[in-house]
Amino acid sequence: MMRNTCLNLAGVSGMAVYAPHCRVDLEQWCKWTGNSWDKVSSVVGQSFRITNYNENAYTMAANAVLRLIVNNNIDPTKIGFLGLGTESSSDNSAGAIIVKGMVDKGLRAMNMPAMSRHCEVPEFKHACLAGVYAMESATRFVDADGKDRMAIAVASDIAEYALGSTGEQTQGAGATAMVLEHDPKLFEVQLQHSGSASDYRGPDFRKPHRRHFMNLEEYTKSSANGKMADFPVFSGPYSTLVYQEEVTVAVEHMLERLQQSPGKYYDDVTALFFHRPYNMMPIQAMSFLYARGLARATSEEHKAYFAELCKQGKADPAVVLKELDVNPHYFQQIESGGEPKDAFPATGKVAKVLRKDKKFIDLLEKKMSMGSPAMGNFGNLYTASLPCWLAAGFEEAYTRKLDITGKPMVMVGYGSGDASMSIPILPVPGWENAAANINVSKALENPVNLDKAQYEALHTGAEKNDLAKDRRKMEFVIDRLGNRNEAAFQDVGIEYYRYIHCVEDNPGKSDYLKRKRKDFTKGNPSEARVEALTALALRHLPKSAETWAALRKALMEQSDLDGAPNRTLWYVLDALIKHAPHVFVPLVAPRLLEYTIQQMPWELAGHRGQTLLWFEALVLSWEKVLPQRLYSAVRQHAVQSRSGAELHDLLEAAENSVDDGTPASPADLQQLRDAWDAVQYMGEQEAGKSVFHARPITAEVVVVDEDGKMLMPRPTPPFRHWSLVNCPSEDSPLGRIGHSFCANADGSKAYVYGGVNDTDSVSIYLDDLWQYDVINKRWREIELRGEKQHPRAFHTAVWYDTCMYIFGGCNGRGRFNKLFYISEDGDCHPVVVRGALIPMTRYCHSAVVFGNTMYIFGGKCGGRNSNKRLQDLYRCDLSDPEWKECNQLGTIPPPRSAHTAMTYERTMIVFGGRNSGGECCEDFFVYSFDTSMWRRIDLPQVPMFGRARNSAAVHYGNIIVFGGWNGKKKLNDLFIYNVEANTFEFMYDIDREYPSRRECHVAVVCRNTMVVFGGRFRGHFMNDTTELYLGSKTGVDSMRDWLIMADPQLTGLATHLPLHHFAALKAHKDYVVPELPEEPMWPLIGHTP
C-alpha cells in the first residue's frame, strides 16, 4: 500500500482558479506571426491569457482567494495563514499582505467578516516552485500550531515574453488558491513521503533587476508606455536539460522514501501532475523518468521492454544503466566558459522512442490526461501552473464521476535555478463535495478575444482602457498609483486597489446606483442594521444559529409596519421567502400571525391606509408560497374581516407555521449565496420618504432544490401566457414534423422549411418555404426558385445575414450533407465550400450560428434502421465557406440525436436527445467557442426531465423547453432553465390555449414571443401556430410602470410596493388594468433603460 497509515494527515479542502479575461487565440496568433498552428497546438496548446493594464499578480491572487472563500463557504475569521507564491511581484517589501488587504475589502463589501487579524502573511519566491512551497508551508501550519485553523496558499503569476521571441507563444497569466485544513475535504498532502532536490544552475531562467537598466530594446519599448516589462532571461535548451534532471532527482527521492520501485509505482499511481510551462514538457519529463525506471527493472517483462526500446533508439543498454549514477555539473560547465552538454544522451534516445510507443501513450492517456485539456487554454502560469492542473484534474474527475477515492496521485513541482518537489497526494472520501466547487471551466468562459492590435497594445503597455470592464464581477483592479513624495508622507508607485462587486458597463447607471446606495446607508441606522443582517443571511451565515436568532430578533423587535426600516425588513423577507420558501416560511409564519391578528384592524380604522394596503398586497402575493391553509386564513381575514379568534385557530392548525430555529442546509446556503447578486437593495429619497425596492431574483422562479424536492412556486408572471393564432388551414403550412424554423435578423418574420407529412401512411417529404409574419399573425407561402434541393426532413437551419442556411436531413431515398441557402424571397442556391472536408451525411442533428460561423453537432447517420449516433462537431464560416472539424476538449457529450442546441453568450448549450441505446438523455452540456472546452452542467434533479424531439429556444439567458417525447409518451409541459442561476421554473397554470402534446415540432423566439409550429401526436400531423409571450428583459418593471401609467393614483403606492406585488393587488381588488403594450415601457421612477 502506498498510503501512509498515519491518521489525520493535513491537506487541501478546496480550490479556486482565476484567469484574466483577455485571451489570445494561438491559431490566430500563428496567422499573425507566420508560425505553424499544427506545431504550436500540439506542443503549447490552444490559447493563453494576458492581463489588462489594471491587473497584476496581487489582483489575480485576491480574485482567486475571494472565489475560494465564497465558493467553499469558508469562515474568514478562521484563516490563520495566507501564503503567496509568485515570481511576478511588483513590490520588494510587501506581498501576501497586499492580497489580504484586498480580500478583506471585498469581504466587507459583501457584509462578511474580514480574515483574522492574527493571520500570518508570508510570500514565497523560487521561480515556478513558489506556489508548491506556499502549499507545503500551509500544510505544516495546519499540521502543527494551526490545527484548529485554516490556511490558504495562493499562487499567482504573469508569464510574459518579448514579442517575436521563442517564448512568446508560451505566455500566460492566472492564479490558483487552495484552502488547507488538518482534516482535509479534497486530498491529503503526504509530506512525510515527499522528495526534494535543489542545485544552483546559474542562468537557467532568471529575472535580474539589472536587465532593466542595460538599454535593451525589448525593455525600453515598454518603459516608454509606463510599463515595467518582466521578460525573463532564459535559454530554452539549457532550461529543458536542467528541468528534466532536477525533476528526476526529486521523484526518485520520493520513491526512495516510499520504498517503492519505479516500475511498480508508475503502474500503481492513478494520476501524475507535473509543473507544465507548456503541454509537451511534462511528457518529456515522464518519458525520461519511465526510461530510467525500466533500466532499473527486475521483472523479465520490463527487462525485455527496455531492451526493445534501446534497440529501436539505437542506445546501448549498458550506457543507459551507467547514466543512472551520473550527477551532472551543468553550471560548472558554463562557469568555465563552455556550453552545457546533455549528461544523459543514451537515456534521452530511449525516452524519445518511448514517447511514440503505444504502451507509453496509453500510460499518458490513463495517468496524465485528467485535467490536461483545460490547461491548453491558460498558457504558462509559472507558480500557478501545477496547482491549476491539480484543480482542473479534480474538476474533471468530479464531472466524469471517476472513482479516485483513496487512489494515490503525485504532484511534481519545479522552479528554475533550480529546485523540485515531488509530493504524494491522496483523494479523501467525500472529495466530490469539495471538487464540485472548483471553477476551472467557469474561469475560462466568456473571454475577451483580442485581435492583433489589442494584443500588441496590451503587451507594450500602450492600451490604457480596461478591455474586460463588462466582464468584471467580484474582482479587484488597480485603481491608481500613488505619487506623493513629501518629507512626512510618501506613496510613490504604491498601488491602490478597487473592488468591483458587479459589472460597471454603464457609467451612468453605476453612478446612479452608487449615489442611491449612499443615500440609503447614510439614513436611519436601523436601515443599515437590517441591510447588514440580510446580507449575512443571504451571503454567508444561513447555517449559523446566531444569524437565525438575529433575524428572528429583528422581527420580534418590530413595533409596527410604518417606517422604512420595517418595510425594508419585510421586503428582504419577501425576497427570501420566494427564493427558498421551505427555509424561510417557518421563520416568518409566527410573526405573520401576530401582524395579521393584531395590526391589521382596518375595519376599526374605517379605511385602509397606504401602509396596510401595502402589507395586504405583500401577503397576498405569497399565494403559491405559503402553506395553503395558512394562505387561505390570511386571505379570508383580509377580505372578509374574519375575527381574530377564528384566524388564530386556523393559523395554529396551519402546517409549517412554527420556526424551530433549524439552520439552513448546504443546498439552501448555495441557493441563497447564488441569489445575492440579483437581490439588489436601493434607497431613494422621494417626497421626503426613504424608499426601498426589492427586485425579484430573476424573472424566473426557483421551484426545484438540489435534492430534486419540488418547492411551492410563485404565481406564473402575469406577462407570460399562451395564445393560439387563428390562421385558416388553407392559409397555413401543411401539418408536418422534422421541419426547420428560423427568425430573421429583426425578429419580425419567421420561416419554415421542409419537413415530412404522413398522409394515408405515405410519407410526403416537403421542400416548401413559408413565412410567418410575427406582427400581423399571418402565414404566406414563398415560391422557391433557383437551384432547388431535394425535399427533406430532420435537417437543420440557421439564419445568417439575410438567408436561411440549411444542412443535412433525409428523405425516403437518402441522407444529405450538402449546405445550401434560401433568401427571404425564396432564392435557393448551394453553398460553394472550399476544401475537401465535408461532414458525413446525417439527420436529427443540431445546428447553431455564432457570429459568422455555423456549428453542427451529433445526429444520426446510416439507413432507417441504423442506430449509429454521432458526437462530432463541425464548423463552417459562412462568410468564407469552409468546413473544419472542431477541437473538442473536456467532457464531451455522449453520441446523440434528436437533441436541441442553442447559443448563449459565447457558448453552445446542448440539451437532451436520444443516446446510442435509444434512451432519452437527461443532461445539459456547454461548449465554449473560445476554448473548445465542453463541460456538463451539474443540474438539480427534476422529475420527468429527460426528453428528445422537443423544442428549445433562448430568451435573455433563459432556455425555454416545450414538449417532446420522454421514451414513454408525448409531452406538452414547459419548463424554463436559467443558465446563470442553474434553476428551473415549470409552468403549472395551463390555460385553455396551452398547446397539446406533441413531438418533432419547432419553436423560435421573435420579439419576446416564442412561436411554436407543427408536430405530431397519435399519428396526427399538426399545423397549428401557438405563441407564448415571454415578457421583455425588464418585463416585471414594465408591468409595474404600465400599471402606474394606466392609473396615476397608484404612483404613490409604487414607492412602497415591490414590483411583483402589483399582480396580487390586481387579483385581490379585481382592478381592471389595460393589456400590456406590445413594446415594453421603460421604468418611470428611478430606473434607466
SS (H, E, C) 509-563: HHHHHHHHHHHHHCCCHHHHHHHHHHHHHHHHCCCCHHHHHHHHHHHHHCCCCCC
pLDDT at position 587, please? Answer: 58
DSSP state at residue 677: T
Query: What is the distance between the alpha carbons of residues 822 and 829, in angstroms, rounded to a whole number?
Result: 7
Q: Among candidates 237, 441, 198, which has minimal Cα distance to 334?
A: 237
Alpha carbon 801 to its chain's center: 30
pLDDT tens, position by position, 824-858: 999 999 999 998 899 999 999 999 999 999 999 99
Collapsed DSSP state (helix, strand, coil) of residue 780: strand
pLDDT tens, position by position, 518-573: 332 333 333 343 344 444 444 433 334 444 454 555 555 554 555 555 555 565 56
Nearest-5° angle of CA 869, CA 874, CA 875?
150
Collapsed DSSP state (helix, strand, coil) of residue 359: helix
Query: What is the distance between the alpha carbons of residues 138 and 387, in angstroms, rounded to a whole number?
Result: 14
pLDDT tens, position by position, 432-477: 999 988 989 889 988 999 999 999 999 998 999 999 988 898 899 9
Q: How many residues can be counted in the chain?
A: 1089
More confident residue, 703 or 126: 126
pLDDT tens, position by position, 233-284: 888 888 889 999 999 999 999 999 999 999 889 989 999 999 988 888 899 9
pLDDT at position 713, please? Answer: 31
* DSSP symbols for 392-436: HHHHHHHHTT---TT--EEEEEEETTTEEEEEEEEEPTTHHHHHT
Query: What is the distance between the alpha carbons of residues 290 and 266, in angstroms, rounded to a whole number?
Result: 8
Looking at the predicted structure, is the pLDDT value of residue 595 above 70? no
Grid cell digits, residue 830: 448551394
What does R_g of the chain's alpha carbons equal in angstroms?
A: 32
Q: Given phi > 0 = left and psi -120 to 50 = alpha, else beta, which region is 545?
A: alpha
Could you tell me which residues come within 8 angstroms of residue 328 by beta carbon, excluding any fewer than 6 positions away? 245, 343, 344
Could you tell me which residues come within 8 angstroms of residue 829 by beta carbon, excluding any fewer than 6 positions away? 786, 787, 820, 821
Angle (deg, nearest 10), helices 300-313 and 345-354? 100
Grid cell digits, residue 918: 435509444
Query: What is the distance between the alpha carbons of residues 995 and 1050, in angstroms, rounded to a whole number?
Result: 36
Average pLDDT, stretch 766-793?
93
Collapsed DSSP state (helix, strand, coil) of residue 808: coil
More confident residue, 594 or 228: 228
Query: What is the distance between the alpha carbons of residues 906 and 41, in angstroms, rounded to a whole number?
Result: 22
pLDDT at position 578, please? Answer: 61
762-773 and 778-782 beta bridge pairing: antiparallel
Grid cell digits, residue 659: 420556526
Q: Among candidates 371, 376, 515, which has minimal Cα distance to 42?
A: 376
Looking at the predicted structure, is the pLDDT value of residue 51 above 90? yes
Q: For residues 242 and 414, is the Cβ–Cβ distance under 8 A?
A: no
pLDDT at position 216, please? Answer: 73
pLDDT tens, position by position, 1023-1048: 999 998 887 653 333 333 333 333 33
pLDDT at position 70, please? Answer: 87
Looking at the predicted structure, is the pLDDT value of residue 32 above 90? yes
CA distances, 894 to each of 100, 288, 871, 873, 897 (Å): 44, 35, 6, 12, 10
Place of cell 535580474: 208
Query: What is the distance between the alpha carbons of residues 651 and 631, in angstroms, rounded to a whole number?
Result: 9
Q: For residues 842 and 860, is the Cβ–Cβ distance under 8 A?
A: yes
DSSP state at residue 101: H
Q: For residues 496 and 480, is the Cβ–Cβ distance under 8 A?
A: yes
Query: What is the distance between the alpha carbons of residues 770 and 734, in angstroms, rounded to a whole number?
Result: 10
The sign of the torsion formed by the CA atoms of 528, 534, 536, 539 equals negative
DSSP state at residue 211: G
Looking at the predicted structure, is the pLDDT value of residue 171 above 90? yes
Average pLDDT, stretch 800-809?
96
pLDDT at position 698, please? Answer: 26
Q: For residues 314 and 349, is the Cβ–Cβ distance under 8 A?
A: yes
Amino acid at residue number 93: S
Neighbours of 828 (CB within 10 A): 20
Could you tell me which residues come within 8 angstroms of residue 759 by beta carbon, excluding any fewer than 6 positions away? none
Burial code (b: 16+ CB inside 10 Å, e: under 16) for 949-977 equals: bbbbbbbbbbbbbbbbbbeeebbbbbbbb
Least confidently predicted of 501-505, 904-908, 999-1003: 501-505
Query: What is the distance between the alpha carbons of residues 290 and 497, in angstroms, rounded to a whole number?
Result: 48
DSSP state at residue 898: S
Looking at the predicted structure, is the pLDDT value of residue 1058 above 70? no
pTM: 0.62
Q: In what order do the strands lie in the sheet with 846-850?
A: 846-850, 853-860, 869-877, 883-885
Query: What is the distance between the alpha carbons of residues 519 and 930, in angstroms, rounded to a whole number?
Result: 42
pLDDT tens, position by position, 356-392: 999 999 998 899 989 988 898 999 999 999 999 999 9
Collapsed DSSP state (helix, strand, coil) of residue 634: helix
Local confidence band at 178 (pLDDT 50, 70, 90 cut-offs): very high
CA distances, 885 to each of 856, 888, 903 (Å): 10, 9, 18
Average pLDDT, stretch 669-688?
30
Local confidence band at 672 (pLDDT 50, 70, 90 cut-offs): very low
187-189 and 172-181 beta bridge pairing: unpaired
The distance in angstroms from the start CA to the end CA of the chain is: 64
Query: Helices (DSSP H) in 34-128: which residue ranges?
Result: 37-43, 57-71, 96-109
Looking at the predicted structure, is the pLDDT value of residue 191 above 90? yes
Amino acid at residue number 1077: P
More confident residue, 993 or 758: 758
Give kind and range of the element (H or E) at residue 143. helix 130-143
pLDDT tens, position by position, 923-982: 999 998 988 889 888 776 555 578 999 999 999 888 999 999 998 899 888 888 888 777
Q: For residues 17 and 174, is the Cβ–Cβ distance under 8 A?
A: yes
Average pLDDT, stretch 506-510?
33
Average pLDDT, stretch 742-770?
91
Looking at the predicted structure, is the pLDDT value of residue 675 above 60? no
Q: How does the average pLDDT of the chain come out, rounded?
A: 78
pLDDT at position 932, please? Answer: 85
Local confidence band at 427 (pLDDT 50, 70, 90 cut-offs): very high
pLDDT at position 309, please? Answer: 95
Q: Among candidates 807, 898, 917, which has minimal Cα distance to 860?
A: 898
More confident residue, 1050 or 928: 928
pLDDT at position 727, please? Answer: 77
pLDDT at position 662, please? Answer: 41
Contacts by 622-625 with C-beta closer than 8 Å and gap 24+?
A: 622/574, 622/577, 622/578, 623/715, 623/1064, 624/712, 624/713, 624/714, 624/715, 625/577, 625/578, 625/581, 625/585, 625/712, 625/714
Looking at the predicted structure, is the pLDDT value of residue 7 above 70? no
Alpha carbon 130 to its chain's center: 28
Query: Of all residues in the chain, what percent carry a pLDDT higher than 90?
Result: 50
Least confidently predicted of 694-708, 725-739, 1053-1067: 694-708
Query: What is the distance between the alpha carbons of residues 899 and 915, in angstroms, rounded to a whole number?
Result: 9
Grid cell digits, residue 159: 508569464
Query: Of all residues in the chain, what percent carry a pLDDT higher than 70?
Result: 71
Among 202-216, 618-632, 826-840, the range with the most confident prediction by mean pLDDT is 826-840
Torsion angle in degrees (nearest 10) through CA of 522, 523, 527, 533: 10
Q: For residues 951 and 1003, is the Cβ–Cβ distance under 8 A?
A: yes
Place of cell 399538426: 1022
Q: Dihedrals φ, ψ of 361, to 5°?
A: -60, -40
pLDDT at position 541, please? Answer: 33
pLDDT at position 832, please? Answer: 93
pLDDT tens, position by position, 308-345: 999 999 999 999 999 999 999 999 999 998 889 999 99
pLDDT tens, position by position, 133-149: 999 999 999 999 888 99
Query: What is the distance between the alpha carbons of residues 427 and 967, in angstroms, rounded to a whole number?
Result: 38
Among 188-192, 1019-1023, 1062-1066, the range with the most confident prediction by mean pLDDT is 188-192
Q: For residues 184 and 11, is the Cβ–Cβ distance under 8 A?
A: yes
pLDDT at position 392, please? Answer: 95
Q: Dihedrals φ, ψ of 855, to 5°?
A: -115, 135
Give kind and range of the element (H or E) at residue 620. helix 610-620
Collapsed DSSP state (helix, strand, coil) of residue 122: coil
CA distances, 739 to each of 232, 789, 809, 949 (Å): 58, 15, 10, 11
pLDDT at position 510, please? Answer: 32
pLDDT at position 930, please? Answer: 84
Looking at the predicted structure, is the pLDDT value of residue 874 above 90? yes
Domains and CATH numbers, the chain: 11-187+218-453 (3.40.47.10), 737-958 (2.120.10.80)
